A and B are shown apart, each in its own frame.
Chain A
């Protein structure tokens, strides 16, 4: 016995949607195979029942619908829905576009302001910023923070009083001091000698 007819072909055969040659082959098989014949009868029964149910549908829904017309209506409805969504969606801002001239002017202004800021910073702050940027560039984890308070400094060339990174007060003679000293209480002194008179002069600055 040959193989049974496939379900798809059997359903198409019942509805008359197969070619003549395949229809003849299926008919020949059904004549010999009771199992396929019973399944074909079942398909015919289902078809009859569907046609009966379709005849009971509301007016306007035909038992044999016009699929092209339905597709067109559904497409139109989808378009209407999309248009309605556009109406209620938030309004998108129109991107601002600059011409090259305003952009160049703004870039120039930024350069001027940055240069003015950099040049007017106290030297110690500039150096500290430079050191910090260098440290960041080299990937050092810790960056030294500069003292922002009052600083009294004594070096071999003289004494200074600084605050907030800038020099606020300096005390120095033209000559190099013989000695400098710092007091933890906040003063510094420098000793100078007058080469002509031999007189010793001691200048001091006070943080308080």
Chain B
């Protein structure tokens, strides 16, 4: 009798665990409000000592502010501390007028310890909203202010470029640019890359390899020297010396890290973001503890770095111009901006007319 009761209790707990609850938590003064949510596809499955929580939710949000929403980031958290339980969903390139409703889909798989089955399984919170005047609202726990602002600046740069192509060279030139962009996206090498903490162990001897640098015109920060420890298919602990050649202090920068293997194949491996404090005319060093591991049989031969983003002390940003990105290596290896990819997909789906209509919206 007692064993039956235990079995029934366990079955109840298991059933409860299979249907995780989803909580949408928006602040009371949030510029976006929840209109509806359909989380019917959300599911959980036990695996060892944890649950995989598959979050599939379709949200309808309303812009309840007085400004146009350009981008938004929601954090999706199933556990705060243990790795694997935190993700985010961002939507750049929005143009939502005040009062308008816009969709936002959440498709994530997260980890949740089995011991914490009680309570809300997954919490969706607002991390940040970017408006058309580049002002920001949000807790910014995931540094979404910086990310959303850079995406918006890139989107403006690329829309302006394509509009100019359309105005000055016509529809055929715009079409040619779109086809060129789609071809580059298809041809862009994208091998698997792992980011590992600390020393990734293998038996290969380690050596120091210096960076070569691409100097982008107009970049306020110039990388001058750098190296990383290389062992076979692993590169770790990159260190780059940078010089602030602008007249403003720099508090953040990102360096793109390009790797070339023994067969001459090149690919963009990762970005090196770094919080710094470099006064005008001064130099500093960017160091990272992490390392990168590439597929087996990839022997790293050389590395190239370039400054891809700079944030000044006053919160304004520098991003490379379209002309700077015309460098043959960058065009081949660096992914287009999210906006260029979005526009090229609209061209694929709706043709040149649909693309022109989309460009006219902004």
Contacts and interface: CB of A to CB of B under 8 A. Distances in A.
Interface centre among B192, B198, B349 (most CB of A within 10 A): B192
A206 B76 CA distance: 11
Interface stretch (A43-51, A89-97, A101-109, A196-204): A196-204
Interface stretch (B2-10, B102-110, B241-249): B102-110
A180 B190 contact: yes
Given A191-B338, A201-B91, A152 B194 contact: yes
B342 interface: yes
Interface string A158-202: 000101001011111110001111111110100111110111111
Given A184-B273, A198-B349, A204-B87, 8 more contacts: A151-B196, A152-B195, A184-B257, A191-B338, A200-B91, A201-B89, A201-B107, A207-B195
B196 A149 contact: yes
Interface of B: 48, 50, 52, 82-93, 103-105, 107-111, 142, 185, 188, 190-198, 200-203, 238, 257, 268-273, 288, 290-293, 335, 338-339, 341-342, 345-346, 349-350, 358
B272 A184 contact: yes
Contacts of B193: 153-155, 182
B203 A163 contact: no
Contact of A205 (B87, B92, B269): B87
Contacts of B50: 168
A115 interface: no
Contacts of A173: 107
A201 B108 CA distance: 12
A199 B343 CA distance: 10
A169 B91 contact: no
Given A193-B342, A203-B108, A153 B87 contact: no
A42 B254 CA distance: 119
Contacts of A178: 185, 335, 341, 345
A19 interface: no
Contacts, number: 171
Interface stretch (A31-39, A54-62, A140-148): A140-148
Given A183-B195, A206-B142, A142 B108 contact: no
B89 A185 contact: no
Interface residues of A, number: 51
B138 to A, nearest CB: 15
A152 to B, nearest CB: 4
A70 to B, nearest CB: 76
A186 B341 contact: no
A156 interface: yes
B269 A185 contact: no
Contacts of B107: 172-174, 192, 201, 203
B91 A182 contact: no
Contact of A203 (B85, B88, B269): B88
A103 to B, nearest CB: 33
A198 B338 CA distance: 12
